[in-house]
Amino acid sequence: MHEYVFILPIMLFLLLGVMSPGPSFLLVAQTAMSRSRTEAMGVAIGMGLGATLFAVVACYGLFALIAMVPWLYALLKVIGGVYLCFLAIKMWKSAGQDTPGRTALSSRAGFLKMLFAGFITQVSNPKTALVFGSAFAAFLPKEVPDYSVLIVSVSALLIDSGWYIIVAMLLSTPGAQAAYGKFKKHLCRLAGGFMAAMGVKLFLTQP
């Protein structure tokens, strides 16, 4: 099993990356406090699926591809910035709207919708691509043992989904949702402003 030791630093790198605040955390947190735990879980799993996609692609040379094709990273930045600004507008508009009932939001359709939102948020974030690309470029050996891609992909799914599920569980409690309802207008505008700032930063920051 010693041939799989290289996976440990990769997983630690990814864990530290997923725990750092960013648009993914913000989306899970707001969904957990303003909607239902079921929908927040959908976002969390969507984040994990996005991480799995990045893990598979990174195993086949994501970092090298970005280094060889500079415009690809620039394109990822534009797409990510546009999507973050889109989320920011939705959050800002939701400040003046009533929070829907939990029954409707706990439906299967709501879960799948938020799962897709989590997935798109993850894969549209170029910083996530760089985290995965850097980790795999640094620690992936030239000759990987059998089943490495499968093990790494499953690990990435568990790390991302696991962390955001914990966040969803903690912030979807009655106390957290009551506090959100009390300060909804200010929190939505703060979250929307923060999300917009991250989106604009993607446009302005040079690779």
104 occurs within a structural domain: yes
pLDDT tens for the 207 residues of the chain, in order: 577 777 788 788 778 778 776 778 888 888 888 888 889 999 999 999 999 988 888 777 665 666 676 776 677 677 767 766 776 777 677 665 554 444 444 455 688 889 998 998 888 877 777 777 767 666 666 676 777 788 888 988 999 999 999 989 988 888 877 766 666 677 667 767 776 776 677 667 655
CA distances, 98 to each of 46, 101, 111, 112, 157 (Å): 26, 9, 20, 22, 34
Q: How far apart are CA 202 and CA 15, in angstroms?
A: 23
The pLDDT assigned to 1 comes to: 58
The pLDDT assigned to 81 comes to: 72
CA distances, 195 to each of 7, 27, 57, 158, 173 (Å): 32, 9, 26, 25, 24
The pLDDT assigned to 103 comes to: 41
88 occurs within a structural domain: yes
The pLDDT assigned to 101 comes to: 44
CB 37 within 8 A of CB 172: yes
In sequence order, which ranges of the chain are alpha helices (DSSP H)? Answer: 7-19, 23-34, 37-59, 62-68, 70-93, 102-105, 108-123, 126-139, 148-171, 174-182, 184-204
Q: Into how many domains does the chain fold?
A: 1
4 occurs within a structural domain: no
Say what the pTM is: 0.71
1 occurs within a structural domain: no
Count CB-CB contacts under 10 A for residue 180.
20
Q: How far apart are CA 6 and CA 8, in angstroms?
A: 6
Domain range for 110: 33-204
5 occurs within a structural domain: no
3-class SS of residue 183: coil
The pLDDT assigned to 195 comes to: 65
91 occurs within a structural domain: yes
The pLDDT assigned to 49 comes to: 94
193 occurs within a structural domain: yes
78 occurs within a structural domain: yes
The pLDDT assigned to 172 comes to: 86
